[in-house]
Amino acid sequence: MADLFADDPPQPESPKADASRPLADRLRPTTLAEVTGQAHLTGENGTLTRMVASGSLGSMIFWGPPGTGKTTVARLLANDTDLAFEQISAIFSGVADLKKVFEAARARRTNGRHTLLFVDEIHRFNRAQQDSFLPVMEDGTVTLVGATTENPSFELNAALLSRSRVLTFHPHDEASLAELLTRAEALHGTPLPLTDEARASLIRMADGDGRSVLTLAEEIWRAAREGETFDADEVQEIVQRRAPVYDKGQDGHYNLISALHKSVRGSDPDAALYYLARMFDAGEDPLYLGRRLVRMASEDIGLADPQALVIANAAKDAYDYLGSPEGELALAEACVYLASAPKSNAVYTAYKAAMRAAKENGSLLPPKHILNAPTKLMKGEGYGSGYRYDHDEPDAFSGQNYFPEKMGRQRYYDPPERGFEREIAKRLDYWAKLRQERGE
């Protein structure tokens, strides 16, 4: 095992030196220019390329999904700026390990050499452990490069973020993954035995992860017999597909539910079904999705289609009754119905306005004519006096004011000319006309 606290990292071996090493390790870039998929950072005019050219690095947080080169880039930065490279993982390290690293960095600094400290999974350190980095960052003992797959805004201390620059690593696109496969084939000496369709399928299965696409390629080479070529279906059987990157408590969860909600709101049933399927495929709790569909029905459709809430609730109950896999179809049906329904947030907007008015106006008494008067005292105070029973009025409409007298009549709900709310708008306009005619 390599010495964790050695002043210099082991020198990279020739890519072909040890064929038993994983392909991803043998293809690890040796210069920033060789890094694929992160041109905004490592390209000719990339952020990190400019930093290296200046000869000075500040502390940084690398934020991005797995397999995008965060560890590799940190090593290359240390090499390019002649910094001693030390690496720890927040999964396996504690306070004692951090103290050893800091002491080694201080000793190295007295000899005129600085340290780049790479902390993998930095978000797994608790708040106190994150705070321990602050003094050694401020006095220049270490240049910190932390790597995280989670949103730094939520997972890292504000003090740590204020002393670091957050750099985003993007998932590999299809072109970048294809380039990695081409490099792998050059190193391996033989092309992947895949049809064009199978090759494209393999790239999609990698889900933007460079390490994964190389691992999948190795599995294909191991499985292939001489002269054999695999199609897309055979590739899926061989590699048994890769689980999508998804954490039900973190960004993957929130990104996909946001995409689902906005696709429904945007009346795109195909996109809505796609994101619903993505979440099913990733293992999301279907009842959670059922609850979210109920929310969409009330927030984004409302009375434009009163059946939307009924259908969303029925789908949630159907899944609760049937379970998987039959129950998912009911949720898919509701998803398509909601996305296809006329949209209105008029009730949602009216509700928020009414809540705001309730908070702003305090405990105003309703007008006395709509208050019950069960006692003589209350009758003497005028409770119930002048109330007109609507069913006894022409058109079953009295038009009386029901707001507190100090507020006067208010208008919160403004139905649009869409769906069923077009009929509601006609009713409200008709009643407003009757009020005007009767002087109410």
What digits encode the pLDDT tens for the residues 120-171? 999 999 988 999 999 999 998 999 999 998 889 888 999 999 999 999 999 9
SS3 374: coil
Which pair of tokens denotes residue 346? Answer: 């008029």
Domains plus CATH for the chain? Answer: 23-168 (3.40.50.300), 174-239 (1.10.8), 251-340 (1.20.272.10), 362-438 (1.10.3710)
Handedness of CA 68, 156, 95, 57 (dihedral sign): positive
- Report pLDDT for 311: 97
Q: At residue 274, what is the residue type? A: Y
Region of 146 please: left (phi>0), alpha (psi -120 to 50) or beta.
Answer: beta
CA-based end-to-end distance of the chain:
88
Which has the closest alpha carbon to 166: 64, 45, 88? 64
Which has the closest alpha carbon to 303: 397, 412, 416, 411? 416
Region of 69 please: left (phi>0), alpha (psi -120 to 50) or beta.
Answer: left
pLDDT means over runs of 10, the chain (440 residues): 43 53 90 93 93 91 93 94 93 89 93 93 91 92 93 90 94 94 94 93 89 92 91 84 56 84 95 93 89 96 96 95 91 96 95 91 87 87 90 91 89 93 93 85
- Report pLDDT for 361: 85
- Report pLDDT for 412: 94
- Report pLDDT for 314: 97
